[in-house]
Every structure is written in structure tokens, then in C-alpha cells.
Amino acid sequence: MDLISPAMTKHFPARNVGEDFTLSLPEIRYRVGELVFLMGHNGSGKSVYGRLLSGEWNANEGVAHIRWSEKDTQIAPGMGVVMQQVDQNLALDLTILENLVLRIPRHGWAILNKPSTQHRHRAEASLSNHPELFRKRHHQVSTLSLGQRQTLAFLCARFQSSDVLLLDEFLASTDRATSQSLLAMVRDFVAESGTAIIISHDPAMAFEEADRIVVLQRGSLVGDIQKGQDGWALKPLEDLISL
């Protein structure tokens, strides 16, 4: 069963002397268990598309959401999102544990109740593979390093969705060791039948890590290449992205 991003259009009229911009995309299907890199130069529309998918913005035409292919009227469960500016994903004045507990879905009247002991135990369990974060679980997020904040933001996004993650340039400001650690977490998520979409400007990383690369250019879809298909080579990908 695929996840479908319906055709959509978002228009931004020109301001002052700037040019107007329109993102106009056809239906795009994402497979369960797939790691997709969404690529393009600055101004290609990557982040606009990400904000539409995440529900931050509405489309002018079409419906900006992801739905299941076999359930035409059912929107897929909420998307977990990690924004490029990592502090936008976290409550800096709360502790690590409090940030995680806030992301645990609660339904019905339960949303009015204080988090239960069960919620706190679940949040602590998510830190079991991250001893440094576990040790600091009662510390405010503002005291953490950038890499620790990125890791926490990813864990919070996992709580928001067990199906789809949208990661907007979330590796752009990390060192190599942190990037590798975060990518391993993404691969584990995908291996558990999750779908991950990474917005990136790094073709070398995409070529190495992706199952598929989707390329935008001036608001249009210009490339959709599956690993192993014709065109799956670093130089052609770099040329396509830099058009």
C-alpha cells in the first residue's frame, strides 16, 4: 500500500521587485519502507512542499495531505516533522522527558488529563539507546548540544507518527558523527515499515543513503529516480539538481 501526496498548487504573488513563485506538483506516491530524498536548488520549492505536506500551509489548489492509496478518503496518521531550525521543534524551557511526553498521542478526554506514569515510562524507554540523553532526561533542553537537540527532535517526531517522517534539512548543521547516528535512526524507522522524506541539498549523501530521489526545479517536479534505475549516478544527479 502506497502513501499518496495528491496534486497541489501553491502560489506566492510577487512582492516589491521580487518575482512571483508557484509550486505546482502532480500526484506523488511514496512507498511504505522507503527513504526518499527531496532535492533541489535554493528556491526550488522543497521547503514549500514540506510545509504543505506537514499541514503548516494550505494549498491554493488541491489538498495538501498524505493519504493511503487503498483508502481513498482516509488521511494517513499524523506526520512527524523535524524542521531545519531544530529549536522550532522543541520547548527549550522544558526538560527532555517533558518534551517527549508532550508528543505522545492522547485521544478523547485523555488530552485534558496530566500525563500518566505510563506516558513517562514510555518516554524514558525511548531514551534507552541514548545514554547521554537518558542521564540528562530531567535537564532543560536549552542546556543540550546541537546534536543532542537534533536527536531529541527526531525522537519527538517518532512519537508524533509511526508511519511518516518529514525531515527538513535536519542534517545540514551536524557533524559527521551526529549525521551518521541520525541516519542510522532513520534507517531503523524505515526498516520498521516507516516512510521517511528528507529534504536535503546534499546529492552525495542522497546518492549514498536514499532508496529514491525526487527533484524539484522552480516549483515543478523534474526528476523522480529509483535506486538502480537508469540515471542513478552521482554526476547526473548533481547536474539535474543544479539546473
pLDDT of residue 228: 86
CA atoms of 102 and 13, how far apart (whole Å)? 37
pLDDT at 177 over 80: yes
What is the rounded average pLDDT for all residues in the chain?
86
In this structure, the number of other CB atoms found within 10 A of the CB of residue 140 comes to 15
pLDDT of residue 172: 78
Phi/psi at 66 (nearest 5 deg)?
Answer: -105, 135
Q: What is the pLDDT of residues 87-106, one digit of tens each?
A: 888 999 999 999 999 888 76
Q: What is the mean pLDDT of residues 168-190?
A: 88
- Name the amino acid, one letter, at 120: R
Q: Which of 82, 49, 50, 72 is nearest to 183 (CA)?
A: 82
Between 57 and 63, the more confident residue is: 57
Between 113 and 65, the more confident residue is: 65
Of 111-115, 118-122, 128-132, 227-231, give the lowest mean pLDDT range.
111-115
pLDDT at 75 over 90: no
CA atoms of 120 and 101, how far apart (whole Å)? 6
| The model's pTM | 0.88
- Sorted by sequence, the CB contacts under 8 Å of residue 149 that are 6+ apart come out as 86, 87, 90, 141
User: CA-based angle 69:195:183, to the nearest 5?
Assistant: 170
Q: What is the pLDDT of residues 204-241, one digit of tens each?
A: 999 999 999 999 999 999 999 999 888 788 888 788 87
> Where do runs of H (alpha helix) occur along 112-175?
117-125, 131-135, 146-160
pLDDT of residue 73: 45
Q: How far is CA 192 from CA 100, 109, 136, 188, in A?
A: 20, 30, 28, 6
pLDDT of residue 10: 93
Domains of the chain: residue spans and CATH: 1-78+194-243 (3.40.50.300), 80-160 (no CATH)
Which cell numbers hold the place of 200? 536535503
